[in-house]
């Protein structure tokens, strides 16, 4: 048994089921080992950012880590943006990064790069295997780290010779991750007392919003009268009928300042301190009101669900009052020219129960979000780190994790071009994804940001770097070129027909809407 096979056997023994791969020469022995173990599902991604984006979506929906296979420092560099997004989302993954044979590293070969340095810039854990005898143990340690603290980025650098050389001893055992940290009883009691006071708000995030724990927050609100809020960027949120309604932070700085104006104290549970996305002249980086107090009870790496339960117990908040949860209320189907609001209405009316919505629609997002608040029960995944290009691969990964659920990908045309290749992966794997591309022919958010920073109105050069025209992108042709059926919907009636098809039939389907 060589090192590569010992590693694959270790991953399988640990319960890792999927490898999102874009391999090169230095990873060939790892590929050969995968070939001998068909129980590991291998998904080819035609760009490394597609592999890491897919692993992000998989981890959010599966609740466990996948493996990515990346080729040397340049391949890891291509994967970096969606590793950043995954890190912000708390998505666990194991990256196997190939490296030149140890004795070859003394030479300046074309693909030689700083594999350790580029990994450490985004990974929580980095290790380079020193020889074939350590590979299995290194792999087990990587899986353990990926499963720690709710999800971590673990990168194992595998020199080619450590993959092909003999590895006596076979696969290694993967230890359970360490228990997640919890607040002290005194901190729970202090937070409970704060929430009883006027002007208090409970801000929840992370795993609380992904499952049933959010009901505990509703009970706390009913018991204390405190406010309840969620961050703008949430890895996974339960929404629609039966979910817990709550206010949410937004993107614009001034609107967030207004939202927090009367919040005297904010207790953070599974959430980090609200911070403006960018700095703007004359506007605050922190939107909370001057003199308000933030209580960091439980950060996202801690056991937030347990913490919320302990807080509810401390407050005696044991029941969920009738009428607390979101009712089912579907809108009428829209007519006339398509607008973002009408896309939201159509999707809200037709979204199937237990759908997974992956959102990187940027400027159109707020309209669809508002419309689907009372839709059928669904999960909502958002690009977390602000690095665009996560939507399409994340949707692919979510579909691999949950093959029995419809995935809906909402993306702007500019964002989608970053990882267009993921359409091919959807077609290759027959993934059940309905993609809606908001084709506004520009990076519209940049037009807004130009005004927000007070730079100027868009002139010729600004338009040349903001607008996606001359030539315009043809998303129907682009999708079909990647093996995905697609239609253009400029009228609401055509949109409704397209959504009925895309949501009702299995397999990938794309709808281009001009808004």
Q: Which residues contact 194 (CB under 8 A, 6 or more apart)?
A: 200, 265, 267, 295
User: Do 193 and 301 have their domain in common?
Assistant: yes
pLDDT the model gives residue 320: 81
User: Do 388 and 500 have their domain in common?
Assistant: yes
Burial classification of residue 464, based on how many CB atoms lie within 10 Å of its CB (0-12 exposed, 13-18 middle, 19 or more buried)? exposed
Determine, yes or no, domain membership for 273: yes
State whether residue 266 is helix, strand or coil: strand
The whole-angstrom separation of Cα 214 and Cα 248 is 14
**Residue 484 and residue 428 in contact, taking contact as beta carbons nearer than 8 Å:** no
Across the range 68-77, mean pLDDT stands at: 97
User: Do 120 and 219 have their domain in common?
Assistant: no
User: Do 241 and 310 have their domain in common?
Assistant: yes
Sign of the dihedral defined by the CA atoms of residues 446, 447, 451, 457, in that order: positive
User: Do 303 and 344 have their domain in common?
Assistant: no
Across the range 55-61, mean pLDDT stands at: 98
pLDDT the model gives residue 442: 62
Element (H, E) at 268: strand 265-269
Across the range 76-104, mean pLDDT stands at: 97
User: Do 369 and 454 have their domain in common?
Assistant: yes
Across the range 387-412, mean pLDDT stands at: 97
Q: Which residues contact 258 (CB under 8 A, 6 or more apart)?
A: none
pLDDT the model gives residue 470: 80
Percent of the chain residues topping a pLDDT of 90: 89
Final residue before a domain boundary, out of 164, 193, 218: 164
Per-residue pLDDT at 401 exceeds 80 = yes
pLDDT the model gives residue 458: 64
User: Do 158 and 25 have their domain in common?
Assistant: yes
Across the range 285-299, mean pLDDT stands at: 94
Burial classification of residue 446, based on how many CB atoms lie within 10 Å of its CB (0-12 exposed, 13-18 middle, 19 or more buried)? middle
pLDDT the model gives residue 445: 64
User: Do 352 and 501 have their domain in common?
Assistant: yes
Across the range 365-373, mean pLDDT stands at: 95
Q: What is the CATH number of the domain that holds 373?
A: 3.40.50.970
pLDDT the model gives residue 464: 67
Q: How many CA atoms lie within 13 A of 473 on its CB side?
A: 23
Determine, yes or no, domain membership for 176: no
Residue 450's pLDDT band (boundaries 50, 70, 90)?
Answer: low
User: Do 160 and 293 have their domain in common?
Assistant: no
Mean pLDDT (the chain) is: 94
**Residue 230 and residue 300 in contact, taking contact as beta carbons nearer than 8 Å:** no
User: Do 349 and 457 have their domain in common?
Assistant: yes
Determine, yes or no, domain membership for 324: no
pLDDT the model gives residue 318: 87
Per-residue pLDDT reduced to its tens digit, 333-362? 999 999 999 999 999 999 999 999 999 998
Q: Which two tokens stand for residue 47?
A: 């760009």
Range of the domain at 155: 3-164
Per-residue pLDDT reduced to its tens digit, 299-310? 999 999 999 999
Percent of the chain residues topping a pLDDT of 70: 95
Q: What is the CATH number of the domain that holds 281?
A: 3.40.50.1220
Per-residue pLDDT reduced to its tens digit, 176-185? 999 999 999 9
Final residue before a domain boundary, out of 300, 315, 330: 315
Across the range 260-278, mean pLDDT stands at: 94
Determine, yes or no, domain membership for 193: yes
Element (H, E) at 75: helix 72-89
Per-residue pLDDT at 276 exceeds 80 = yes
pLDDT the model gives residue 473: 92
Per-residue pLDDT reduced to its tens digit, 410-432? 999 999 999 999 999 999 999 99
Determine, yes or no, domain membership for 437: yes
User: Do 361 and 460 have their domain in common?
Assistant: yes
Determine, yes or no, domain membership for 265: yes
Across the range 230-259, mean pLDDT stands at: 94
Per-residue pLDDT at 4 exceeds 70 = yes
The whole-angstrom separation of Cα 68 and Cα 155 is 9
Determine, yes or no, domain membership for 355: yes
Per-residue pLDDT at 283 exceeds 70 = yes
pLDDT the model gives residue 101: 92
User: Do 85 and 130 have their domain in common?
Assistant: yes
Total domains present in the chain:
3
Per-residue pLDDT at 447 exceeds 70 = no
pLDDT the model gives residue 463: 67
Determine, yes or no, domain membership for 329: no
């Amino acid at each position: 048994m060589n090192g590569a096979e010992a590693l694959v056997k270790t991953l399988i023994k640990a319960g890792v089921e999927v490898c999102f791969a874009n391999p090169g020469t230095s990873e060939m022995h790892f590929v050969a080992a995968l070939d001998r173990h068909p129980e590991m599902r291998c998904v080819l991604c035609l760009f490394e950012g597609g592999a890491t984006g897919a692993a992000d979506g998989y981890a959010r929906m599966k609740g466990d880590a996948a493996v990515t296979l990346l080729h040397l420092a340049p391949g890891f560099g291509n994967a970096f943006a969606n590793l950043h997004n995954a890190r912000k989302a708390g998505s666990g993954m194991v990256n196997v990064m190939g490296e030149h044979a140890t004795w070859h590293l003394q030479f300046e070969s074309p693909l030689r790069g700083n594999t350790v340095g580029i990994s450490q810039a985004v990974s929580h854990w980095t290790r380079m295997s020193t020889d074939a005898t350590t590979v299995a143990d290194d792999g087990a340690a990587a899986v353990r780290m990926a499963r720690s603290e709710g999800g971590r980025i673990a990168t194992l650098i595998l020199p080619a010779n450590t993959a092909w050389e003999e590895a006596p001893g076979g696969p290694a055992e993967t230890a359970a991750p360490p228990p997640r940290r919890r607040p002290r009883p005194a901190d729970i009691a202090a937070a409970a007392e704060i929430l009883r006071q006027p002007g208090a708000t409970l801000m929840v995030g992370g795993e609380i919003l992904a499952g049933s724990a959010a009901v505990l927050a509703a009970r706390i609100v009913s018991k204390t009268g405190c406010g309840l809020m969620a961050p703008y960027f949430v890895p996974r949120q339960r929404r629609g009928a039966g979910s817990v309604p709550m206010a949410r932070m937004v993107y614009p700085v001034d609107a967030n300042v207004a939202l927090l104006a009367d919040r005297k104290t904010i207790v953070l549970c599974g959430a980090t301190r609200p911070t403006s996305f960018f700095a703007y002249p004359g506007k605050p980086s922190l939107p909370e009101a001057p003199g308000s107090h933030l209580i960091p009870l439980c950060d996202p790496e801690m056991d937030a669900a347990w913490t919320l339960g302990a807080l509810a117990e401390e407050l005696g908040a044991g029941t969920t009052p009738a009428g607390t949860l979101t009712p089912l209320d579907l809108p009428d189907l829209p007519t006339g020219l398509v607008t973002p609001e009408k896309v939201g209405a159509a999707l809200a009316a037709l979204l199937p129960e237990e759908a997974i919505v992956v959102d990187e629609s940027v400027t159109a997002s707020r309209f669809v979000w508002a419309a689907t608040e009372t839709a059928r029960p669904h999960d909502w995944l958002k690009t977390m780190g602000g690095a665009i290009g996560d939507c399409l691969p994340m949707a692919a990964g979510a579909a691999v994790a949950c093959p029995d659920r419809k995935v809906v990908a909402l993306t702007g045309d500019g964002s989608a071009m970053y990882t267009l290749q993921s359409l091919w992966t959807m077609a290759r794997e027959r993934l059940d994804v309905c993609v809606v591309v908001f084709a506004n022919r520009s990076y519209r958010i940049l037009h807004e940001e130009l005004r927000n920073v007070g730079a100027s109105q868009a002139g010729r050069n600004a338009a040349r770097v903001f607008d996606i025209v001359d030539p315009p992108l043809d998303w129907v042709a682009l999708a079909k070129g990647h093996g995905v059926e697609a239609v253009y919907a400029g009228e609401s009636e055509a949109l409704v027909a397209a959504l009925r098809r895309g949501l009702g039939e299995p397999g990938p389907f794309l709808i281009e809407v001009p808004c």
